Amino acid sequence: MIAAAFAALSDILRPEFRAVLWKSIGLTIALLVVVWLALESFLVWLVDTGSWPWLATAIAILTGIGLLIGLGLLVAPVTALFAGLFTDEIAGLVERRHYPQDPPGRDLPLGQSLLGTLAFTLVVIGVNLVCLILLLVPGVNLVAFLIGNGYLLGREYFEAAAVRFRPREEARALRGRHGPTIFLAGLVIGLFVAIPIVNLAAPLFATAFMVHLHKRLTGSLPAAS
């Protein structure tokens, strides 16, 4: 697993991955900015400060802090959303570079990929809303964030890598046989997502990581460089 993680880190810095990286970062930033502006506009409309400008300033500061925390927790759902857009492209790059001796994976039909991504994104949003509520309990939020996202991100990204080579039922069975390893890999992804700025590259890292892990768990080793 450690070797797979380092291989994925090396991959996302390679020139051929940069185009996908910039697309992922651009879309992530754009979506977060839209969410930020929409929430800020809604709060300004909702709260009537009247002739008390100091109250408007206080509300702006407090809501700004709350929005920063909330948007920080939204990074995981956003990366889940874009995972479906870039999974096949990133996986294909990793497979061709490191495993040219193996048959190439099969790209999922666009409709199937988008439906699966949407369902997964909604689940991740639910988990992170629970984490946001648990901010009131010191120390619990970080644990909930890592465990919840570790399980979900590990499951989703591993199955996305596995279904390129086998039916989804077989991919789930394979995930079940290697559950502890995949959960630990998901925790690594969760830690990656928790690092500000760095987490913008999370879809690339997570996909490359799970492609490497899937190959290793099924007995395929990378070709010599």
Residue 148 lies in a domain: yes
- What is the number of other CB atoms lying within 10 angstroms of the CB of residue 110? 11
Residue 15 lies in a domain: yes
DSSP state of 114: H
Give CA separation, 30 vs 24, 35, 74, 163, 196, in Å.
10, 9, 13, 30, 16
Residue 115 lies in a domain: yes
Residue 144 lies in a domain: yes
Residue 134 lies in a domain: yes
Residue 40 lies in a domain: no
Q: What is the domain count for the chain?
A: 1
Per-residue pLDDT 10s for the chain (225 aa) are 888 888 998 888 888 888 887 887 777 777 777 777 777 777 767 766 566 667 667 766 776 676 666 666 666 677 667 666 778 888 999 999 999 999 888 887 777 777 777 777 777 777 767 766 776 677 677 787 788 878 888 888 899 899 999 998 999 999 999 999 999 999 998 888 778 777 778 888 988 999 999 999 998 878 765
Structural domain containing residue 144: 2-26+77-217
| pTM, rounded to two decimals | 0.78
For the chain, the straight-line distance linking the first and the last C-alpha, in angstroms and rounded, comes to 19
| Residue matched to tokens 């939020």 | 141
Residue 195 lies in a domain: yes
